[in-house]
Structure 1
Amino acid sequence: MTLIKSISGIRGTIGGKPGDNLTPIDAVKFAAAYGIWLKDYSKKQKLKVVIGRDARLSGEMIQNLVVSTLVGLGIDVVDLNLSTTPTVEIAVPMEKADGGIILTASHNPKQWNALKLLNEKGEFLDAAQGAKILEIAEMEDFDFSDVDDLGEITKNDSYIDIHIDEVLNLSLIDAEVVKKAKFKVVVDGVNSTGGIAIPKLLKEFGVEVVELYCKPNGHFPHNPEPLKEHLTDICKLVVEEKADFGIVVDPDVDRLAFISNDGEMFGEEYTLVACADYVLGKTKGNTVSNLSSSRALRDITQKHGGTYEAAAVGEVNVVTKMKANKAIIGGEGNGGIIYPESHYGRDSLVGTALFLMLMAERGGTVAELRASYPSYFMSKKKIELTPGLDVDGILTAMADTYADEELSTIDGVKIDFAENWVQLRKSNTEPIIRIYTEAKSQAEADGLAERIIGEMKKVAGI
């Protein structure tokens, strides 16, 4: 059982002892720390916070605890109940709120939950802000409101529909163009809120929808991370239904993956590549992704005459780099699309709409589209952390070993070889070291990963 405290929020497994897991006491403590910080940060007498959650089994319990804690601090709450991460992000500025909390552990399995924290723009907090909240939580310097000053709760379950309307009104989106294509699409919503939002969106585009695991009951039918090994059911169903493609989202709907018409993975890394291809083909501009993302985005950006830059892993880092680089689209290779015309957050609804436009205008099959892009293959491995393992020492040793190669140490260690690359970094959300590689073939990517893992274990003496 695990509790991970980071600048982006608190994430842990349900049950067990306070301080070791995400218990009710920890949920209250961290929600209170956020509320206290928000009062000091905003300097306002009366505050408003938007709360939404995915459909995981512990969601209602954690929601009740968090909402009540904020109310006890005298903060008004707009309760969206079942929602998505990007929906909460757009709701914060629409409600003229001072912040937001999304109750979701994203791609983690059902025993996990988390509090993701937003500022008044509906964007994730920066490192300094997150660190201050952690400090307040440890000090437990809380001052709750008197009975006459308690906050009020307003329930609003319309924001997924509002979100869809916002997507339909984007300048590069034309639902009538997509309707003419008469697409048939299979949707795997992993029995969370993507099963509400994505089918609703598709129907606005005239798409025939085949629903798979779209009941938002929190019983995830497979590991909710949208990776190939978890998606055998939808890959099979796309072929059986003779669908044009499949759509897979994670429980909070900020990661988006496609299944090609032949039942093969389009490639999580290529979600951003395809969406950027469409946007850059209409509007000249720059792109940003993180250091763990495919080189294919760089290639597509340069093809369209733009500039590509890489940021440290983490949505807040990508957003910061996007603003500095005036990027018109960006995101992460895990299927996260950030389109500033909508908002600065990963958004599977926006990504789905952009992909529908690309397919409707370009024609052909999704498999043919994938074949048209630069061909890179990734391997994503991990090493479980054990007590006493000197992660920083291991990464330093690996950097020293490859000091003659092109190195980046802004986020772990990334080694850029001429034909491939490897990145080693400690996860912000799980007790693991991630080992990502990319090469011109899957065998080469897997082989590079295994070689590097062997070298790391030798350094660590394991």
Structure 2
Amino acid sequence: MTLIKSISGIRGTIGGAPGDNLTPLDAVKFASAYALWIKENSGKAAPKVVIGRDARLSGSMIQALVQNTLIGMGCHIVDLGLSTTPTVELAVTHEHADGGIILTASHNPKQWNALKLLNSKGEFLDGAEGQKILDSADKEDFNYSEVDDLGKVQCIDDYIDRHIQMVLDMPVTQIDAIKAAGFKVVVDGVNSTGGIAIPALCRALGVEVVELYCEPTGLFPHNPEPLKEHLGDLCEAVKEHKADFGITVDPDVDRLAFVDENGEMFGEEYTLVACADYILGHQKGNTVSNLSSSRALRDVTEKHGGMYFTAAVGEVNVVQKMKDKEAVIGGEGNGGIIYPESHYGRDALVGVAMFLSLLTEKKMKVSELKASYPSYFMSKKKVQLVKGMPVDAILAAIHATYVSEEVTSIDGIKIDFADRWVHMRKSNTEPIIRIYTEAPTQQTADDLALRFIAELEEIAQQHA
């Protein structure tokens, strides 16, 4: 059981002891700290906060705790109920709110939940802002409102519909062409809010939808991270229903992956590649992704005459780099699409509209589209952290060993070899070290990952 406190929010497993897991006491404490920060940051005695949640089993409990704590701190609430991360992000700005909280543990399994914290722009807090909240939570120096100053709640239950309309209104969404194409898709909504949003968006675009796990019960039918090893049912359903492709998202709908017409993975890394290919075909400019993302985005960007830049892992880091480099599209290789013309947040609904629009332009099957891109293969593995493991010292030792190579150390250690790379970093969301590799073949990528896992374990033993 684990509680992870980071600048990106508070994430933990439900139950157990306070301070070790995400318990009711922890939810109240961190909600109080956020309320204190937002009152100071906005300069308002009664700031407005948007709240939404995914469908996981603990969602209603955590929302009640967080929402009533904010009310007790004098904050007014806009309650979206079941929602998605990008929907909440959009609602913050459209409701002229001072911040927002999404109650979701994203791709983590059902025992997890989290508080994802937003500023008045509907964007994740930066490092300094997040640290203020963590420090405040540790001090527990809160001053709750008296009865006449308690916050009020406004419930809005149609924001996913509003979000869909915003996507339809984007100039890059080719509504008529998509409707004319007569697509048929299978949607795996992992029994969360993607099962509400993605089928509704597709049907609004005239796409025939076969629903798979689209009831928002929170009973995840498989590991909710949209990776190949978890999507066997979707792959089979695409073939069974003779669909043009399959769509899957994580529980809070900020990650997006596709399955081609043959039931083969398009590859979550290539979600951003395809969407960037589409946008760059209409608007020249730069792109950004994080250090763990495929080189294929660089290749496609340069083909369109743009410049490609990397950022540390984490949406807030990618967003800042996109603003610095005036990128027209960016995101993360985990299937996260960030399109500034919509908003600075990963948005699977935006990605679906772009992908459908691209297919109408290319007039290709999804497998043919994938074959048109540079071919890279990734391996994504993890090493479980043992309490007290000196992660920084271990990564420093790796750095020293490969100092003659091209090494980037802004986020863990990334080593770029001539035709392959490895990126090792401590996760912000799980007690693990992630080891991502990319190479010209899958076997080479897997072997490279196993090689560095062995090196990490050997160094860890030396530090034990």
**Which TM-score band (shorter chain)?**
over 0.9
Q: Classify the secondary structure of the residue corresponding to 1:282.
A: coil
CA distance in 1, matches of 2:406, 2:101: 39
Matches of 1:37 and 1:14, distance apart in 2: 25
Is 2:360 aligned against 1:360?
yes
What whole-Å deviation, never above 9, does each CA across 1:269-321 have from its counterpart, x for those lacking one?
00000000000001101000000000000000000000000000000000000
**Residue aligning to 1:23:** 23
In the other structure, the counterpart of 1:180 is 180
Partner of 2:392: 392
For residue 106 of structure 1, what is the aligned residue in structure 2? 106
Q: How well do the aligned residues superpose, as a CA RMSD in angstroms? A: 0.6
1:172 Cα shift? 0.8
- Equivalent residue of 2:201, what SS? helix
Alignment of 1:52-131 (within 5 A): 52-131=52-131
Q: Which residue of 1 aligns with 2:342?
A: 342
Post-superposition Cα deviations, 1:95-126, rounded to whole Å, max 9, x if no partner, equal 00000000000000000000000000000000
What amino acid is aligned across from residue 68 of structure 2 in structure 1? Answer: S
**1:233 aligned to 2:233?**
yes
Q: Provide the TM-score with structure 1 as the length reference.
A: 0.99
Listed one character per residue, the Cα deviations across residues 348-384 of structure 1 (whole Å, up to 9, x for unaligned) are 0000000000001111210000000000000001000
Secondary structure of the corresponding residue to residue 172 of structure 1: coil
- In structure 2, the partner of 1:314 is 314
Task: Give the structure 1 partner of residue 270 of structure 2.
Answer: 270
Pairwise CA distance, 1:337: 0.1
Aligned to 1:433: 433
- Tell me the equivalent position of 2:148: 148
1:244 alignment counterpart = 244
TM-score, normalised to structure 2, is 0.99
Match of 1:158 in 2: 158
Looking at structure 1, the residues matched to 272 and 419 of structure 2 have their Cα atoms a distance apart, in angstroms, of 21
Q: Identify unmatched segments of 5+ residues in structure 2.
A: none
1:328 aligns with 2:328: yes
Q: Percent identity?
A: 70
1:260 aligns with 2:260: yes
Alpha-carbon distance, 1:260 to partner = 0.5
Tell me the distance in 2 between the aligned counterparts of 1:138 and 1:315.
25
Partner of 1:197: 197
Query: Using the alignment, how far apart are the partners of 1:9 and 1:22 within structure 2?
Result: 12
- Tell me the distance in 1 between the aligned counterparts of 2:170 and 2:131: 35
Query: Do residues 134 (structure 1) and 140 (structure 2) align?
Result: no
1:439-450 aligned at under 5 Å gives the runs 439-450=439-450
Runs of 4+ in 1 over 3 A off after TM superposition: none
Kept in 1, the 8 Å contact 2:45–2:74? The answer is no
Q: CA deviation at 1:193?
A: 0.1
Q: How many residues align?
A: 462
User: How far apart are 1:46 and its partner, in Å?
Assistant: 2.4
Q: Which runs of 5+ in 1 are unaligned?
A: none
1:209-259, CA deviations, whole angstroms, 9 ceiling, x for partnerless residues? 000000000000000000000000000010111000000000000000000
Q: CA deviation at 1:174?
A: 2.2
Q: Distance in 1 between matches of 2:152 and 2:31?
A: 16
Asked if 1:11 corresponds to 2:11, the answer is yes
CA separation in 2, counterparts of 1:207 and 1:333? 26
Q: C-alpha distance in 1, partners of 2:196/2:458?
A: 48
Q: Is the 8 A contact 2:12 2:113 kept in 1?
A: yes
Deviation, structure 1 residue 388: 2.6
Q: How far 1:33 sits from its partner (Å)?
A: 0.3
Q: Deviations over 1:178-207 (max 9, x none)?
A: 001000000000000000000000001100
Q: 2:426 matched to 1:420?
A: no
